[in-house]
Amino acid sequence: MTLQLIYAWAKKIHRLAMWFAILLGVPLALTGVMMESESLSLWSAGMDWGYKVRELHRLVSTKFALVLAIMMITGLLMWAIPRILSKRAQSKLS
């Protein structure tokens, strides 16, 4: 597998992971605000949502962390591969 192919796959995976991070980030932010805000926390507890909000936040956060780790790895590849290829090209010219 060539570095150009790895770069192309990393870019596709990174873009897909970005969309998953956005989709997972919205409920994560909403449940986080509901738990942090005293008035929203009392409101959700009054509707018997307190446990459900915490559980949803916990479930989404683990998936978000996995997606974020994938984005970090693919982002590192997308950063490193052009530098490796440019160093190879410079060494061939010398």
**Helix 3-36 vs helix 50-93: angle between axes, to the nearest 10 degrees?**
150
Enter the pTM of the model: 0.80
- Write the pLDDT tens digit of every residue in 79-93: 999 999 999 888 887
Of 70, 13, 65, 60, nearest to 32 (Cα)? 60
One pLDDT digit (tens) per residue for the chain, 94 residues: 799 999 999 999 999 999 999 999 999 999 888 888 777 777 777 777 677 888 999 999 999 999 999 999 999 999 999 999 999 888 887 6
Q: Which long-range contacts (CB under 8 A, 24 or more apart) does 27-31 make?
A: 27/56, 27/60, 28/57, 28/60, 28/61, 28/64, 31/56, 31/57, 31/60
